[in-house]
């Protein structure tokens, strides 16, 4: 069954694709109108500004990441299992909409205040969720990590480029990508047996 998008959703989807390929700054409202096949003035009956679209994309994606992380952290298991689930949750959100993921990861810098500051606070809070799992693993003797912040940034750096190469019809499913990445990342974190 085909999903019918509202005009506002069509505008957001088209703008997201343009922001991904051209960048937020280089995309004009005229570009957006041309891509939609409508007059530029008619866009304003649905949205206030180009930045409103960016805000909607960035904060919707943030909400999806937090919901996925909360689900991962709520599961029983040791820190290694929780980290695997957190990685899988992150991959799942990234691969559901690679255009929105790219905008979320790269175009947030164009948010004006107070949205820019709010976004940075949310990013810090999300990274802290990963650090909590790492600390839990260190305390339990599962992980040997010289610097928890570095470990988290390394993990997120490894995950956050998926949107550039993931293809829905590619060799690996999101689950396989998550499993492979988690195995590679965890093998670098786990203590060697005595």
pLDDT tens, the chain, 194 aa long: 566 778 888 999 999 999 999 999 999 999 999 999 988 888 888 889 999 999 999 999 999 999 999 999 998 899 999 999 999 999 999 999 999 999 999 999 999 999 999 999 999 999 999 999 999 999 999 998 889 999 999 999 999 999 999 999 999 999 999 999 998 888 865 566 66
Q: CA-CA distances (angstroms) from residue 78 to 7, 52, 83, 136, 158? A: 46, 41, 9, 8, 22
Q: What per-residue confidence (pLDDT) applies to 121?
A: 98
Q: What are the extents of the domains in the chain?
A: 50-187
Fold that domain 50-187 belongs to in CATH: Tetracycline Repressor; domain 2 (1.10.357)
The residue with tokens 């799992």 is 133
Please enumerate, as own/partner, the contacts of 190-194 that have beta carbons within 8 Å and a separation of 24 or more. 190/80, 190/142, 190/143, 190/144, 191/141, 191/142, 191/143, 191/144
Per-residue confidence (pLDDT) for residue 190, from 0 to 100:
54
Cis status of the peptide bond prior to 144, with omega within 30 of 0:
no
pTM of the model: 0.88
């Amino acid at each position: 069954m085909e999903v019918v998008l509202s005009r506002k959703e069509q505008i957001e989807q088209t703008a997201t694709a343009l922001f991904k390929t051209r960048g937020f700054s280089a995309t004009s409202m005229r570009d957006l109108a041309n891509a939609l096949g409508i007059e530029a003035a008619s866009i304003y009956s649905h949205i206030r500004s180009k930045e409103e679209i960016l805000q909607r994309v960035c904060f919707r994606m943030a909400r999806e990441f937090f919901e996925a992380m909360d689900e991962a952290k709520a599961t029983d298991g040791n820190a290694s299992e929780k980290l695997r689930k957190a990685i899988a949750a992150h991959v799942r959100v990234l691969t559901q909409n690679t255009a929105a993921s790219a905008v979320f990861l790269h175009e947030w810098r164009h948010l004006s205040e107070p949205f820019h500051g709010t976004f940075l606070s949310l990013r810090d809070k999300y990274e802290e969720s990963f650090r909590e799992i790492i600390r839990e693993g260190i305390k339990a003797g599962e992980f040997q990590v010289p610097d928890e912040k570095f470990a988290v940034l390394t993990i997120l750096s490894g995950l956050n480029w998926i949107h550039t190469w993931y293809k829905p019809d590619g060799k690996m499913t999101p689950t396989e990508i998550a499993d492979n990445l988690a195995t590679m990342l965890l093998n670098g974190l786990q203590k060697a047996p005595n």
